[in-house]
Structure 1
Amino acid sequence: MRVTQSVVKTLREAPAGAELPSHIFLLRGGYVKQLASGVYSIMPFGKRILQKIEVVIREEMNRIDGQEVELPLSQPAELWQESGRYTAVGSELLRFKDRTEHPMVLAMTHEEAVTDMARHYLSSYKQLPFMVYQFQLKFRDEPRSRGGLVRVREFTMKDGYSFHRTDEDLDAYYQRVYTAYERIFQRVGIRPVVVKSDTGIMGGKLAHEFMLETGHGEDYLILARDGSYAANQEIAEFHRETVPESPLPVEKVATPGYKTIEDVSGFLSVDAKKTMKVVLYETEHAKRKTLVMVALRGDLEAGEIKIRNYLKVPWLLPAQDDFIRSFGIVPGYASPVGIAERSDLLILSDLSIAEGNNFVAGANEEGFHLRHVNFRRDFQTPHCGDFAKAVSGHKSPDGKAELHAVRGIEIGNIFKLGTKFSESMNCAYLDESGQHKIPIMGCYGIGVGRLMAAVVENSHDDFGPIWPEEITPFHVHLVAIGKEPEVVEACEKLQAEWDAAGFEVLFDDRDERPGVKFKDADLWGVPVRVAVGKKTLAEGCVEWKLRKDKEHTVVPLSSTSDRLKSHYRK
């Protein structure tokens, strides 16, 4: 491939708004071009990389008996109504009507379509288990597209779906996919951190995310320093240390104008750990507008994903003062003390309150707080659990290791879906005794474009990406220094020789200064660069440089083919 014939254009400066290294270098190197917010055109060099990533994934999916299919991007709304996600999912699901006024959606994921496929194929237990996968476009109308290919609205994903008779069979196959994912990421040069995660809109019983640890990540991971625990912060658990105390009598104290935890603890000279924080949300629960009161220790933050999952609601919003007051609760001085739970009021107590004693809490009266509030004696609720966010410095769930938070980018996920989709969509088979049974499902995803961006995040320097050999757009970058006939002739002979040996060659034959060509070579990140110039050629030599190295070496021209074969182990 000659650069003069390539559809590629590099940029000297980082585009406005690009902050992540992957976003900067994929734009500057001409791999992608932004068409709209969260929508990118993939240019030829980027497409070569994506195709090679797909080859890696396809090989590993076939290795675990996956069968490739292709499911539609546009789908009838009835499928999503059957699963319940047509109304459960918000505006990120693009809904439209076709020319016959039939309601349709652009799929953001394909559980409904694959379950529909399975219920028309599956009839007998003898057909189980099986797994199908695809590389298909998705559209998700993200409210905040950011970071280039890290969070986009239109993207290609490898999504796989497995169907099983028993939980044990799903467990065994889940582990096979887990291992296959480890091989995929190893082949593209990434060592992921694997964490337990929220199942989100996918539903199901268990999920793991494969994360690239990076300071530019959009997610926070909670890791034990001894390696014994790892989870996405959204669902991470932690040990709450408590000191047993005898309950003391409740004491009402004046706290004029003091509303925040910081102000109240300072005014009353108590540690924030001895205060009760109340966070108030509104949501729709049991088909009615509901106030949710969450009580937790004053030094903790509410974990909204945990609360949503517990209540099985798709959204939570900060409650408005008028709505709060309608329950006899005073904003700034709120507590569950003296508040009766109703069908439209749910009181949740974090374990830090349920297991602690003698907290300072609001008195539900302007300008007053209560000392020595205790769960069970002073208020009760059946809704006790883990509703707080784990942060650095907390202890692991077993209390033995310190936790710390790091940032990461999700590069893959696996879910145990259970029967959420197969049951709601009437997918069934007959077992040995002729009884109808519901298959148990698993789901496995990798965003192909996001993985390309993650590779750049993981492997780059100040000048551009350093592509791993298995997914590099080209094997060798041949640079002609000058337009002298002998230089051009030598380059053309090398290109022909390397092509014949099975190497993919990028030949920079442009009439440009060496500095321009070398800067572009860094942006294109090909593992091996060979530069041919008049001076070195006169000595029968060329410049040999590995992209990961800072300096080049001068080697005999006649040795380059053997060097390439040795480098790529051909």
Structure 2
Amino acid sequence: MKASQFFISTLKEAPADAEVVSHKLMTRAGMIKKLGAGIYSYMPMGLRVIRKVEAIVREEMNRAGAVECTMPVIQPAELWQETGRFDKMGPELLRIKDRHERSFIVQPTSEEVVTDIARQELRSYKQLPKNLYQIQTKFRDERRPRFGLMRGREFIMKDAYSFDRDMAGAKASYQVMAAAYRRIFDRFGLSYRAVAADSGAIGGDLSEEFQVIAATGEDAIVYCPSSSYAANMEKAEALAPAGPRPAPGQALVKTPTPGKSTCADVAELLGLPLQRTVKSLVLATDTLNEAGEVARTQVWLLLLRGDHDMNEVKVGKVPGLEGFRFATVAEIESHFGCKPGYLGPIGLKQPVKIVADRDVAVMADWICGANEIDFHLTGVNWGRDVAEPDLVADLRNVVAGDASPDGQGVLAIERGIEVGHVFYLGTKYSQAMNATFLDENGKPQFMEMGCYGIGITRLPAAAIEQSHDERGIVWPDAIAPFTVVICPIGMDRSAEVKAAAEALHDDLAAAGVDVLLDDRGERPGAMFADWELIGVPHRVVISDRGLKEGQLEYQHRRDTAATKVPASEVSGFVKSRLQV
């Protein structure tokens, strides 16, 4: 292809609302154009990247035995009402009405529609297993769309759904998809990790996220450098400390801490390590009556070490804490007789359930609030000063240096961007929508399901976050908008340069190389700057001087300098550098 036939629109400056590198560079490189909040046009340069991502995904999904279909963007509300998600999903689900006042939604995902297809079409065990997938536009009405394609409202996603006759079959289908995802992300040429993820309310351990490694990633990825263990922060287990709890060594003392309401401030005031302090978090759970009104409220006190952070997913799995909320100030004052900042488990006004994190459960001589403004207690010990906790559980986020749950070393943490997720659903949707098949005995059984997603339009943004420099994007070969760009200098003035450039272009194109010839007549500096910004991996420069010397210049986007290559060998040289 020639540049004069294509659509190239680069900018020197990024728009003021572009916050992250991928948003800035995709806009400057003319890959996306903002239409509204979280809504973008995919310009020709960006669409080429998206189509390459789609092609790899489609090839591997087909290879894994999945069958492609397309489901509507606009879906009847009735299907979503069957599963309860029409009401439960909240404002992210865009609800609309047609001229007849019938309710519809703009799909954020398609579990309901695909389950409706399955319950109509898959009637016998002989038709299972099946896996249907689509590459389709989705919409989620994000409260605060930002970061360009990283968190937009309209996006393209590949979503697949497997249907099996039993749990064993569903697990086998899951493994097929997990393997396919690894092939997909290997082909993209990006550095990524497949990490164990929390399965939410459905339960089970079959859930993995695929995270592109990037320093700017929103997600924390926990892994063990000396083993294969990897999990997201929600899933990573903080092991109980080894050894018994030490015996008390200090007396309980009520200590003045004027104006010091945080563990960090108290530790600094007392000249003690932050690890000696214990923070108090007050939660509540409500029991509803048949009318949906609150019949009873249970207040809980969670105790974590001062330098640790609560993991809400883990807390939600503690028996009795499902559906918890943070307690109100009024509830806190009625139970503790004190405002937040100086709370602790001693001297309560009303009983609460106490849950200690595993680390706190083995601490001695610790520091906590005294339930009195401007005072804390030092030298607190279990059994002597406060009753043993009602429950001990893993309540916290892991930190670097914690023991790996597999016993193979210590944990490290890096940042990542989630671009894929494989998930075992079980019968959540098939039961809600009565999607059954007849088994060998003619008895109806609920289908076992799995779902598998890849953020098609998010992935290019993640690739840029991982790989860029001060000049622009650095694409891997597999998903670059063009693999090779030929930059002739003075093509409009030199018949020799023009002939050499067109000959090289035609030779590479005939070999199946995705090559572009820049015939715009731009000055060398402007031409090079454009292609470095756009991030084409391989560049060949042809000039009169070089042709007279019998040499052309090749430079990979990551190279700091060009390599001179004999003109007669440049085609083979470039082909040898391409990543197949």
Whole-Å Cα distance in 2 between the matches of residues 393 and 47 of structure 1? 43
Q: What is aligned with 1:411?
A: 419
Whole-Å Cα distance in 1 between the matches of residues 454 and 187 of structure 2? 14
Contact persistence 2:276–2:366 (CA under 8 A): yes
Shift of 1:366: 4.5
Whole-Å Cα distance in 2 between the matches of residues 275 and 400 of structure 1? 29
Q: What is aligned with 1:144?
A: 144
After superposition, the Cα gap between the structure-2 partners of 1:340 and 1:160, relative to the gap in structure 1 and judged at 3 Å, is farther
Aligned: 1:352 with 2:353: no
Aligned: 1:113 with 2:113: yes
Quick one: which of 547, 561, 566 aligns to 1:551? 561
Q: What is aligned with 1:89?
A: 89
Q: What is aligned with 1:210?
A: 210
- Per the alignment, in what secondary structure is the counterpart of residue 181 of structure 2? helix
Q: What does the per-residue CA deviation read over 1:96-150, in whole Å, with 9 as the maximum and x for residues that have no partner? A: 2222222222222222222222111222222221111110111122233333222
Q: TM-score, normalised by structure 1?
A: 0.89
After superposition, the Cα gap between the structure-2 partners of 1:346 and 1:554, relative to the gap in structure 1 and judged at 3 Å, is same
Whole-Å Cα distance in 2 between the matches of residues 369 and 474 of structure 1? 64
Q: How does 1:97-496 map to 2 (within 5 A)?
A: 97-200=97-200, 205-241=205-241, 243-246=244-247, 251=252, 253=254, 255=256, 257=258, 258-265=260-267, 271-281=273-283, 286=288, 288=294, 291-310=299-318, 316=325, 319-331=327-339, 332-337=341-346, 347-357=354-364, 359-366=366-373, 369=376, 371-374=379-382, 378-379=386-387, 383-397=391-405, 401-482=409-490, 483-486=492-495, 487-496=497-506
Q: What does the per-residue CA deviation read over 1:399-457, in whole Å, with 9 as the maximum and x for residues that have no partner? A: 66222221111121111112222222221122222222222211111101121122223
Whole-Å Cα distance in 2 between the matches of residues 465 and 447 of structure 1? 19
Q: What does the per-residue CA deviation read over 1:441-480, in whole Å, with 9 as the maximum and x for residues that have no partner? A: 1111110112112222333333222332332322431223
- The farther-off stretch of 539-548 and 74-83 is 539-548
- Unaligned runs of 5+ residues in structure 1 are none
Whole-Å Cα distance in 2 between the matches of residues 52 and 496 of structure 1? 21
Aligned: 1:502 with 2:504: no
After superposition, the Cα gap between the structure-2 partners of 1:488 and 1:364, relative to the gap in structure 1 and judged at 3 Å, is same
- Per the alignment, in what secondary structure is the counterpart of residue 380 of structure 2? strand
Amino acid at match of 1:188: F
Contact persistence 1:89–1:201 (CA under 8 A): no
Shift of 1:159: 1.0
Contact persistence 2:337–2:349 (CA under 8 A): no
Contact persistence 1:361–1:373 (CA under 8 A): no
Whole-Å Cα distance in 1 between the matches of residues 579 and 393 of structure 2? 56
After superposition, the Cα gap between the structure-2 partners of 1:290 and 1:88, relative to the gap in structure 1 and judged at 3 Å, is farther
- Per the alignment, in what secondary structure is the counterpart of residue 91 of structure 2? coil
After superposition, the Cα gap between the structure-2 partners of 1:379 and 1:329, relative to the gap in structure 1 and judged at 3 Å, is farther
Shift of 1:76: 2.0
- Per the alignment, in what secondary structure is the counterpart of residue 45 of structure 1? helix
- Per the alignment, in what secondary structure is the counterpart of residue 172 of structure 1? helix
- The farther-off stretch of 261-270 and 424-433 is 261-270
Shift of 1:44: 0.7
Amino acid at match of 1:350: D
Amino acid at match of 2:161: Y
Contact persistence 2:30–2:45 (CA under 8 A): yes
Q: TM-score, normalised by structure 2?
A: 0.87
- Per the alignment, in what secondary structure is the counterpart of residue 457 of structure 2? helix
- Unaligned runs of 5+ residues in structure 2 are none
After superposition, the Cα gap between the structure-2 partners of 1:124 and 1:539, relative to the gap in structure 1 and judged at 3 Å, is same
- Per the alignment, in what secondary structure is the counterpart of residue 390 of structure 1? coil
Q: What is aligned with 1:529?
A: 539
Whole-Å Cα distance in 1 between the matches of residues 556 and 265 of structure 2? 59
- The farther-off stretch of 192-201 and 161-170 is 192-201
Shift of 1:521: 1.8
- The farther-off stretch of 41-50 and 373-382 is 373-382
Contact persistence 2:336–2:350 (CA under 8 A): no
After superposition, the Cα gap between the structure-2 partners of 1:19 and 1:122, relative to the gap in structure 1 and judged at 3 Å, is same
Identity percentage of aligned residues: 42
**CA RMSD, aligned part only?**
3.2
Amino acid at match of 1:548: R
After superposition, the Cα gap between the structure-2 partners of 1:20 and 1:262, relative to the gap in structure 1 and judged at 3 Å, is closer
Amino acid at match of 1:95: R
Whole-Å Cα distance in 1 between the matches of residues 528 and 115 of structure 2? 51
- Per the alignment, in what secondary structure is the counterpart of residue 136 of structure 2? strand
Contact persistence 1:65–1:131 (CA under 8 A): yes
What is the aligned residue count?
567
Amino acid at match of 2:71: L
Contact persistence 2:489–2:543 (CA under 8 A): yes
Shift of 1:398: 5.4
Whole-Å Cα distance in 1 between the matches of residues 204 and 334 of structure 2? 36
- Per the alignment, in what secondary structure is the counterpart of residue 92 of structure 2? coil
Amino acid at match of 2:474: I
Aligned: 1:512 with 2:522: yes
Whole-Å Cα distance in 2 between the matches of residues 229 and 359 of structure 1? 33
Contact persistence 1:255–1:264 (CA under 8 A): no
- The farther-off stretch of 247-256 and 86-95 is 247-256
Amino acid at match of 1:253: K
Whole-Å Cα distance in 2 between the matches of residues 457 and 262 of structure 1? 34
Shift of 1:189: 0.6
After superposition, the Cα gap between the structure-2 partners of 1:527 and 1:367, relative to the gap in structure 1 and judged at 3 Å, is closer
- The farther-off stretch of 545-554 and 449-458 is 545-554
Whole-Å Cα distance in 1 between the matches of residues 376 and 109 of structure 2? 49
After superposition, the Cα gap between the structure-2 partners of 1:118 and 1:7, relative to the gap in structure 1 and judged at 3 Å, is same
Shift of 1:535: 2.8
- Per the alignment, in what secondary structure is the counterpart of residue 234 of structure 2? coil
Q: What does the per-residue CA deviation read over 1:470-492, in whole Å, with 9 as the maximum and x for residues that have no partner? A: 32322431223111150334434
Shift of 1:220: 0.9
After superposition, the Cα gap between the structure-2 partners of 1:256 and 1:239, relative to the gap in structure 1 and judged at 3 Å, is same
After superposition, the Cα gap between the structure-2 partners of 1:567 and 1:356, relative to the gap in structure 1 and judged at 3 Å, is closer
Contact persistence 1:163–1:442 (CA under 8 A): yes
Amino acid at match of 2:382: N
Whole-Å Cα distance in 1 between the matches of residues 79 and 134 of structure 2? 19
